[in-house]
Amino acid sequence: MSVLLSFENVSKSFGALRVTDDLSFEVRKGEALGVLGPNGAGKTTVFNLITGGLAPDGGRIRFAGQDIARLTPHKRCRAGIGRSYQVALPFEGMTVFENLLVGAMFGAQNRTAKEADGRCVELLERTGLLDKANRLAGSLTLLDRKRLELARALATDPQLLLLDEIAGGLTEQEAHALIELVNDIRARGVTIVWIEHVVHALLAVASRLLVINFGAKLAEGDPRAVMASADVKRVYMGIEV
């Protein structure tokens, strides 16, 4: 499998705090990489470095063979990097349908309005939001906001989809349906990187795990082997797995 995204010795500090410490890893095309780590380990920072919200202090970030360090966030989206936020950021004054239209028209595919309409209806159906298409996004419940977050990220037609703690706060059934959806997205050829504290949800999707602690790589590899390693057990000690 070819490499879609790579971090080469990437570092980022906020003042004296090193949030990303000489981090290197690769994401291969078509895989689902799960990212684990204690709170404050620097997981979301990694996403911000990938999407362009933050610029690295050192190291190289490549996407599809291209060094993307100088690209602005909207160009990275158009290059094929989609993202859902940990705290959902819907366009509150727009309807659910219109929320998806933005990505469908400005994202990687640059569709016309007519093409975008069809694409959005398809995504609404897949994510179970069709009945709420005309509701203002600001009036949605937490669960629907999470669905919208996911649908909106898909609307940009990403090659790489970054999911930031989308399973948090869901019931078992809700999480199960979400896992099905993420697996379905992956089956359609989208590469996935998923940060998640709900470990069983992550293990149901991830083909590989990356564990980060204090901004550095603690472990990487086959999910079962990683979860069994002594280092990971120590970092996660006290947290039920």
Partner 1 sequence: MTGVAFKVSRNTRLSVAAVWGGVAAALVLVSVPLWGSPALMRWAVEVMCYLVLAQMWNLMAGYGGLMSVGLQAFVGVGAYSIFVFAQHMGMHPFLAIPLGGVMAAIAAIATAPLVFRMRGGYFAIGTWVLAEVFRIIFSNISLLGGGSGQSLTVMARIDRSTREIGVYLIAAGILIAASLAINLMLRSRFGLGLTAIRDSEDAAESQGVDVKALKLQVYTLASFGAGLVGAVYFTSILRISPNAAFDANWVVASVFIVVIGGIGTLEGPILGTAIFFALRWLLADYGAWYWLVMGAVAVAVVVFAPAGIWGYVRARWDLQLLPLQRRLILSGRGPQRRETGLEFTGDAEAGRM
Q: How many residues bind to partner 1 according to rule CB under 8 A?
A: 53
Query: Is position 64 an interface residue for partner 1 (rule: CB under 8 A)?
Result: no
Closer residue to partner 1 in complex, CB, 39/173: 173
Distance CA 150, CA 166 (A): 8
Residue (of 175, 90, 207, 82) closest to 137 by Cα position: 90
Q: Mask 117-146, x = binds partner 1 (CB under 8 A)?
A: xx--xx-xxxxx-x--xx--------x---
Structure tokens that stand for 116 in this block: 């975008």
Q: Per CB under 8 A, which region of 4-12, 19-27, 71-79, 208-216 contacts partner 1?
A: 71-79
Distance CA 2, CA 100 (A): 30
DSSP alpha helix (H) spans, 66-128: 73-79, 96-106, 113-126
Question: Backbone phi, then psi, for 217, in 5-degree steps?
Answer: -75, 125
Query: Is position 115 an interface residue for partner 1 (rule: CB under 8 A)?
Result: no
Distance CA 73, CA 52 (A): 5
Query: Is position 171 an interface residue for partner 1 (rule: CB under 8 A)?
Result: yes
Q: What residue ranges bind partner 1 (CB under 8 A)?
A: 51, 53, 72-74, 77-78, 83, 85, 89-95, 97-98, 101-103, 105-108, 113, 117-118, 121-122, 124-128, 130, 133-134, 143, 147, 152, 155-156, 170-171, 173-174, 176-178, 180-181, 184
